[in-house]
Structure 1
Amino acid sequence: MPRINLRGVGVALITPFKSDESVDYDALAKLVDYQVQNGIDYLVVLGTTAETPTLTETEKKEIIELVVSKVAGRIPIVLGVGGNNTREVVDKLKDNDFFGIDAILSVTPYYNKPSQEGIYQHYKAIAEASKLPIILYNVPGRTGVNMTAETTLRIANEFRNVVAIKEASGDITQMDEIIKRKPEDFDVISGDDGVTFPLITLGAVGVISVIGNAFPKEFSRMTRLALEGDYQSALTIHHSFSELFKLLFVDGNPAGVKCMLHMMGYIENKLRLPLVPTRITTYEMIRNVLIDLNIKC
């Protein structure tokens, strides 16, 4: 199985919508070009940030086809394939055509709140079904269950096609434990823009980013400087984004980053219910920070 290089910045791509809530494929195509041209290392399609639960199967298929076509092999593409019905995820992995896709990002089962053994068995079934490399995704703030370091390491050691974890537990001690004890060829990726810098200093290889939708060039530079060991230069950029890191999630994701992209002229400020745009107060705070960063809006 071919390896995928996950070092650097992967952007969790949003789904732009028009005012009538239809997918804005023209805006999506322009956004993909914006990402690639500004130096991101790979794209993550149909993740949480894409509002995937609100998309139809036809829309998902069309989004994948558009992104694969626009990227045209220039950078790797990671596809979100997860759920809380293990059999359904396995069937998708066995039956779907993954042309142009380089790896799978699969979130821990949500809502069901399985035990650690249940999480292990879920990923065991996925690993045995997938023809592509798998990136685990631990985000207990959304799923309601934390995958412990012990479970992550058990999976990483037993299944060679499980190549990385996107860690968004918010527990630096847990992330550090995984980094210290992981197999050499298993990568730890930050799942939170705000802890990317400190996590890289501990040994992470990069981030799957939300803010990279709006600032691919700047955030990629910060990440590369940190990976190269130029911590002072990276820290300066990190600090310049500190306020935006907070504002990104005040009203939920991807409301914050869609607000930024709207101000920058890339998309309409539209989400699908149950998500809604940021409050006016948040909107104005984001605008003020962008003006301070000399971003035209």
Structure 2
Amino acid sequence: MCARVCGERDAPLIVGAGASGTRAAEASLARLARWPEVRAALVTVPAFVRPAAAGVLAHFARLAGTSPVPLIVYHVPYRTGQPLDAAALRALGSLPGVAGVKYAGGGIGEDAVALLGDLPAGFEVLAGDDLYLSPLLALGAAGGILASAHLATGRFAELAGAWRAGDVARARPLGHALARMSAAAFAEPNPAVLKGVLHAQGRIPTPDVRLPLLPASQGAVKAVTAALEGLEGSV
């Protein structure tokens, strides 16, 4: 269904194909050759084993050399336990076959600023922390891969367009409003609150999540619903 919807909207289909080990990740990527609709693969930095930066580079060089589609590095150190500085991310971005990074560093520190200030040719940064989309766009990010964009897709697209057009007066208040909504959506472990809101809107049949996650509280769902209503009414 995802392939059909992307085809109807001329949107690139990106799929997750991550694994901690290089061989397992290679096998996962090889299976993508069966689906010509897939345009890129989102692959996490190896978790648990925590190799040195040189090992991460070798891992992605191996994957990029055999993958049937370009790779987007998913940099999320608060989940993988593997922080990478700007130099390491720049080295990854210089690999043939690596198209970009989903940057979810948990904030905007000097590494994010340094990376965006000196990107390899053909390499793009996509915001991965919903809360920091607007400032990353202001710094030069190309876009974002965001869970809370399911709740206000058009407004997130509007924000990206405003920053690309240099419309700071429009982008700044919209970015703040979307950040408030995203913060509410992540008040409990993701994706419980998002699924709760989508269910309350009648867009998915159940709010259930798999253990060890638990369904979102009604208070969290109501907080996001109120933030969405405020977003439409004030920005």
**TM over 0.5: same fold?**
yes
2:147 corresponds in structure 1 to 210
Q: Which of 84, 87, 100 does residue 20 from structure 2 map onto?
A: 84
User: Aligned partner of 1:68: which letter?
Assistant: A
User: Aligned partner of 1:109: which letter?
Assistant: P
| Structure 2 residue matching 1:181: 3-state secondary structure | coil
Q: Does 1:185 align with 2:126?
A: no
1:288 corresponds in structure 2 to 226
2:203 corresponds in structure 1 to 266
Count, aligned residues? 229
Q: State whether residues 93 and 99 of structure 2, in contact with CA within 8 Å, keep that contact through their aligned partners in structure 1.
A: yes
Structure 2 gap ranges (5+): none
Q: Deviations over 1:112-133 (max 9, x none)?
A: 2222122111111111111211
Q: State whether residues 163 and 186 of structure 1, in contact with CA within 8 Å, keep that contact through their aligned partners in structure 2.
A: yes
Shift of 1:253: 1.1
Shift of 1:259: 2.0
In the TM superposition, structure 1's runs of 4+ consecutive aligned residues that sit over 6 Å from their partners are none
Query: Could you tell which deviates more after superposition, 94-103 or 74-83?
Result: 94-103
| Structure 2 residue matching 1:103: 3-state secondary structure | strand
Considering only aligned residues, what root-mean-square deviation do their CA atoms show, in Å?
A: 1.8
TM-score (norm 2): 0.90
Distance in 1 of aligned mates of 2:58 and 2:92: 9
| Structure 1 residue matching 2:15: 3-state secondary structure | strand
| Structure 1 residue matching 2:2: 3-state secondary structure | helix
Shift of 1:202: 1.1
User: Aligned partner of 2:190: which letter?
Assistant: N
Q: State whether residues 130 and 179 of structure 2, in contact with CA within 8 Å, keep that contact through their aligned partners in structure 1.
A: no
Q: State whether residues 248 and 257 of structure 1, in contact with CA within 8 Å, keep that contact through their aligned partners in structure 2.
A: yes
Instruction: Report 1 or 2 for greater relative contact order, CA contacts < 8 Å, sequence distance ≥ 6.
Output: 1
1:241 corresponds in structure 2 to 178
User: Aligned partner of 1:223: which letter?
Assistant: A
Q: State whether residues 132 and 179 of structure 2, in contact with CA within 8 Å, keep that contact through their aligned partners in structure 1.
A: no
| Map 1:1-297 → 2, pairs under 5 A | 66-72=1-7, 74-96=10-32, 97-157=34-94, 159-169=95-105, 170-267=107-204, 268-293=206-231
Shift of 1:192: 1.4
Shift of 1:294: 5.5
Q: Deviations over 1:134-180 (max 9, x none)?
A: 111100111111122111111222x2211111111124321111112
Distance in 1 of aligned mates of 2:174 and 2:53: 38
Structure 1 gap ranges (5+): 1-65
Shift of 1:99: 1.9
Q: State whether residues 119 and 147 of structure 1, in contact with CA within 8 Å, keep that contact through their aligned partners in structure 2.
A: no
Q: State whether residues 75 and 101 of structure 2, in contact with CA within 8 Å, keep that contact through their aligned partners in structure 1.
A: yes
